[in-house]
Amino acid sequence: MEAKELLQTLSNATGVSGHEMQIADATKVAFAPLIHEARVDKLGNCIMLRRGEGKEPRVRVMLAGHMDEVGLIVTKIEDGGFLRFTMIGIDQRTLPGQEVVVHGRQDLPGIVGSKPPHLLSPADVQKAVKYSDLYIDVGLPKDEVEQLVTVGDLITMGRTFIDLKNNYAAGKAFDDRAGVVVMFETLSELAKLHHQADVYAVATVQEELGLRGAMTSAYGVQPDLAVAIDVTHGDMPGVPEYQVNPLDKGPAICTGANIHPKIYEGLTKVADEMGITYQVEVAPGATGTDAWAIQVTRAGIPTGLVSIPLRYMHTSVETLCLNDVKKAGRLLAYYIASIGEGYLEGLTW
């Protein structure tokens, strides 16, 4: 399977935080030719193992990319069949006029409606639409809606993968199913190489709700070192250059207190040696990614972070360049292949 095909499959699938089962199933199927074992733990993390060739006990490397997506949850069925909702991480400014899918007893297409400007006061016309003024219309009367939808049902954006020019793509949930695709690219490249370390590729859950899956899976896997894979803000109009990373210039390798300096050094060294273009991202404290949860699990785990530049984060048209995804996979594969006997002895702060 090609990276674009897998990203399309995962992006189009449904997996709001806390309900990632469909994504876990699709991930296990895609990774099956590349791994020796796969399991889903009690929280829903999909943990996949590719064994190394070294003598036991082998170094245990954990890769982590979260598979949950932002979305909505039904909170009330109003008169007229209109649905009120609350949000999981999504940017509410982008909601008016959006197509959605309500996952009730059957999937229902719907739209997010709001008052048209003709019916607003002159003062309100100049303001952003209030969250309290938004609702979902599925085109059914209340009695029929109540037969198909209940409070607590999930809602996702009605968006499918968009293939853009120049190997760019847009869609929902690229944050962070792009990270899952990077792990796929990593294992695909590792299949062509010799590597001594055992590699645990973990598609984590509930990252958007507080890094929960990374915390529990790292505790269970007990890796010797780990690299989280996530997205970072890509360049876009109106955002200062120092706050973003340009697309199609390679993945961003993070440095800072959340990142073990030896892992940062190892990643950048491999990138330089292999001619893989990359960018440096600075995080002075906690990164807000799975890397933070992993670093402080158990007695502490040496952790790195590699990120894919992404435009329009937490919208339904997140945009990236697949060249960055492939470079990130190649970078991590060669980094893992460079880990031999004695490597852990050098992992001192």
Catalytic positions are 207
* Structure tokens that stand for 190 in this block: 């590792």
Q: What one-character-per-residue DSSP string does 256-312 give?
A: ETTS-HHHHHHHHHHHHHHT---EEEEESS--SSHHHHHHTSTT---EEEEEEEEBS
Q: 50 phi and psi, to 5 degrees?
A: -115, 115
The Cα–Cα gap between 214 and 218 comes to 6
Q: In this structure, what DSSP letter does residue 134 have?
A: -
The DSSP H or E segment spanning 142 is helix 142-148
Query: What is the greatest pairwise CA distance in the chain?
Result: 73
- Phi then psi for 243, rounded to 5 degrees? -100, -5
